[in-house]
Amino acid sequence: MKRNWLRSLGTSLIVVLVAGSVARAATAQLPPLIPRDVLFDNPERANPQLSPDGKRLAWIAPDKKNVLQVWVKTIGKDDDKIITADKKRGIRQYFWAQDNKTVLYLQDNDGDENFHVYGADLDGGNVRDYTPFQGVRAQPLDLDRNFPDEMLVSLNLKSRQLFDVYRIKLSTGAVTLDTENPGDVAGWVADSKFQIRAAQAQLPDGGTEIRIRPDTTSPWKSWIKVGPEEILNFVDFSLDGKSAYLISSIGSDKARLVEKNIEAGTEKVIASSPVVDAEEVQINPDKKNVEAVAFAPGRASWTVVDPALKADFDAIAKLFDGDFQVTSRDRADQTWLVAFTSDKVGVRWYSWDRKEKKGTFLLSARPKLEKYTLSDMKPVTIKSRDGLDLYSYLTLPAGVPAKNLPMVLFVHGGPWARDTWGFNPYPQWFANRGYAVLQVNFRSSTGYGKKFLNAGNKQWGLKMHDDLLDSVDWAVKQGYADPKKVAIMGGSYGGYATLAGLTFTPDKFACGVDIVGPSNLKTLIASIPPYWKPLRAVFDVRMGNVDDPKDADLIKNASPLFKADKIIRPLLIGQGANDPRVKQAESEQIVEAIEKNKGSVTYVLYPDEGHGFARPENRMDFNARAEVFLGNCLGGRVEPMTADKLPGSTAVVRVVGK
């Protein structure tokens, strides 16, 4: 196999200005081409966060080598400085410790997702690895302003399959076991006294159990136990620790935010929607009361629970035409940082003065994008063949008639996730090149109630796939899409859907782009990370049990690998060599099967990536290849690209067949 590998950075990226059969007149009406680096390179600045005392501001931005680092400045001064020194991958997750002098951040090794928690000391200038354990994944759990020198972190240190809770002392780096996992706990929650008092366990039947203990010396007791058909998530404790906030579908199709008394079992609904589940919950970090709850059938809106905040939310909504969330606040709760997402503008942050009820623009993630014309992302509802409402998003290219267009069906990952409204560089990229873009929340997507979620149980390659086909047919019937020029593309489950589309319905799609998609469901489960063990039961219920003979045919028939001989349309596959979720073998085995069946495929492997492409050099390399690929297939516009414009990419390309 290795003899067929070719190292290439640009051999397939021949300059193509306009390919295929998009009408020249229509193409001429499209707005100016948006450079790929404007859409997909590192943001200029992003994710600003206030220190707890409100005296400093941190954010993420690239250094001179275009590697994302954490920056900090004193508010009111021009003393910006970089406080991290990542060499290659870039930092994407960080947060302030409660001591006001330590910035904590996460980093893994080339995408293996074994994250370590590091701390940068602003006073001493030192960086410490707080979880220096090889092959161990760290998951930060909680910080508390009353315990500024401590952090709760879950680590699979004792067993790679299970996460125990550890208490870490920031000043010394001491790591102490706090709470041991009995063998099935997938999540932990601390109360206002910074003690682990709630555990959310995954049961063998795929259901969920929440266990509570009155204090850390008492044994765990089962509090709520539900089957796999219910949605149940522990959100937080009340301030006195006597009640809990839950997102729960018990007694309702849609998951509501409820407050439940732990001893009495009495319950009251705090916020609900007849259309969608409760999603984001804003809780006051000091008072531990619910302030607002977000619901997003198409665009997101807030149900304000605390009347004292209604004036803030009403005024913030007028700052910018987008959906917003409060992302950071100081300890005095007088200054909020608010992030806005919009379909036609990159993410923007504002500083909100609660006393003055005044907002000030702070920064934009992609200011260069604002000079270009972007397209509307329109929420649409599509009926499936069996009557389900498929809440979807349609993005049409600006400047050309919305008729008989080439289209990209862009499928989300998960599949237990969902598409949302707001800025997404991919649909904007496709639309700018001349394609209609359809994003479908097919059955099994989250956010639309338990009936919709469970309608996808054991329907991989079946009704879940039918929903995608029905959505394409809808777009054709509405006149938006040319049925002969529809591509399918996605990552993770979206990559699986791409492979399924080209194998199960080989005549439906003109081509496909698969990013880290599984090809064989049995080998997918056999190679999942060991720490997914408590979640295995969820796959058994929702996907099918690969070890149960009764599900053997279901699993095999839903695996594109065994129908690789049906692939007759062009296929591009991208894979990270260190992907812990969808291993490299998932892509390589279907490439081998295609070659064995005399088919054709282009396979691009990135040795320093995991589940997706984090490094901008690799992300832009693959997207450049995908743009040429889609241009040849659908006839859209293509930005010229040559190898010398992609320094730093580690792409290894294998071309099979034509």
Q: Which residues are catalytic?
A: 492, 579, 611
Residue written as tokens 């599949």? 415
What is the residue whose two structure tokens read 């209609």? 436
Residue carrying the six token digits 């009936």: 451
* 185 close to 168: Cβ distance less than 8 angstroms: no
β-strands 405-411, 436-440: how paired?
parallel
Q: Which two tokens stand for residue 22?
A: 């998009």
- The one-letter amino acid code at 70 reads V
> Cα(533)–Cα(127) distance, rounded to whole angstroms?
33
Give the DSSP letter string of 387-403.
Answer: S-EEEEEEE--TTS-SS
369: left (phi over 0), alpha (psi -120 to 50) or beta: alpha
Q: How far is CA 379 from CA 140, 442, 522, in A?
A: 35, 14, 35
For the chain, report the end-to-end CA distance as a whole number of angstroms. Answer: 17
Hey, what are 392's tokens? Answer: 């979807």
Distances from the Cα of 648 to the Cαs of 181, 407, 618, in angstroms?
42, 31, 8
User: What are the beta bridge partners of residue 82?
Assistant: 71
Whole-angstrom distance, CA of residue 225 vs CA of residue 240:
23
Q: How far is CA 648 from the centre of its chain?
A: 25
Separation of alpha carbons 375 and 39, rounded Å:
13
- List of residues 6+ apart from 264 with CB closer than 8 A: none
